[in-house]
Amino acid sequence: MADVIPFDQRDGSLWYDGKLVPWREAKTHVLTHGLHYASCVFEGERLYSGRIYKLKEHTARLFESARILGMKIPYTEEKINQACMEATAGYEDAYVRPVVFRGSEMMAVSAQTTKIHVAIAAWQWPSYFDPATKMKGIRLDISDWKRPGPDTAPTKAKAAGLYMICTLSKHNAEAKGYADALMFDYRGLVAEATGANIIFVKDGTLHTPIPDCFLDGITRRSVMALARIRQIPVIERHIEPKEMESFSECFLAGSAAEVTPVSEIGPYRFKPGEISETLMHAYADDVRRPVSQVDLAKLS
């Protein structure tokens, strides 16, 4: 594998427990509860043309994830929104990673008195949009790992621990030459990819699984709204794997993935087409609009 520069030796901007600190000097001890016991939640956001897309929604989800994991963030949502903007000041296009985790005061399952830390890392991430390449579609494996039920894990939280099986699924897919993997849920229904939601097209209508045991993505919601504005109907429902035979198009939706057409999932084939292309462009436009079309539609 080509030499990669570790993130701690790159440059970026870091807000840590209340103030901006030099990127390379940030310290977190090895005996940090979040590292050992996954008492950690995070967000993944993107800054486009100097503005963080859906910042308030991401911050609200960060607070909800922390609440679900019993962690009280020692700041207000407004303060975290401001901190995200401080961390991205001077950037045009960047990735933003807020993370909340329990500290090193206790090193055991019980962590009642640990300090709740908040860090926001931002680094330059140009967003190149190459529609021709994207329209070829990516290939997905089908993972053997299942998204757990809501009585097995805190599935509504964007919690670090839920990504353990995502990394395993993704590694396994990559070893077989796939770009990513689709995961089914504990009932055997279609759920999501390892870091993005999935949306299918059938007869001009979007079909997407109900996020009742996996992340209700902010991109997914934006894309569904952008579809409805364009008179493309959207149906959220339980989807059986064998139904994938009957879908014509498929794409992933996520803050990092944006709208990424899919050409293949295990034995199923899709042809990235007009609806995927329309929504891919609609999303690419929306993220750079001064006011999102989705938000404008809410006002009207």
Q: Does 220 bind ligand PMP (CB under 6 A)?
A: yes
83/47 Cα distance (integer angstroms):
13
In terms of Cα–Cα distance, which of 143, 147, 142, 146 is closest to 214?
147
Q: Please report whether residue 137 would count as binding ligand PMP according to CB under 6 A.
A: no
Shortest reach from residue 220's CB to ligand PMP, in Å: 6
Locus of tokens 């990819």: 193
From 124-132, 172-180, 189-197, 280-288, span contacting ligand PMP (CB under 6 A): 189-197
Q: What is the footprint of ligand PMP within residues 238-267 (CB under 6 A)?
A: 254-255
Residue 218 interacts with ligand PMP (CB under 6 A): yes or no: yes
Nearest CB to ligand PMP, comparing residues 39 and 255: 255
Least gap, CB of 80 to ligand PMP (angstroms): 16
CB of 6 to ligand PMP, least distance (A): 22
Mark the segment that binds ligand PMP (CB under 6 A) among 27-35, 128-136, 192-200, 271-279.
192-200
From 185, 192, 258, 286, residue interacting with ligand PMP (rule: CB under 6 A): 192
Residue 204 Cβ vs ligand PMP, minimum distance, rounded to whole Å: 23
Q: Does 150 bind ligand PMP (CB under 6 A)?
A: no
* Helix ranges (DSSP H) in the chain: 33-37, 55-68, 77-88, 131-134, 164-175, 218-229, 274-286, 293-299
- Rounded Cα distance, 193 and 141, in Å: 10
Rounded least distance, CB 203 to ligand PMP, Å = 25
Residue 294 touches ligand PMP, criterion: CB under 6 A: no
Nearest CA-CA partner of 198 in 241, 235, 253: 253
Nearer to ligand PMP, 59 or 219 (CB): 219
Closest CA to 252 of 134, 171, 151, 146: 134
Q: How far apart are CA 77 and CA 82, in angstroms?
A: 9
Binding site for ligand PMP (CB under 6 A): 44, 166, 192, 195-197, 215, 217-220, 254-255
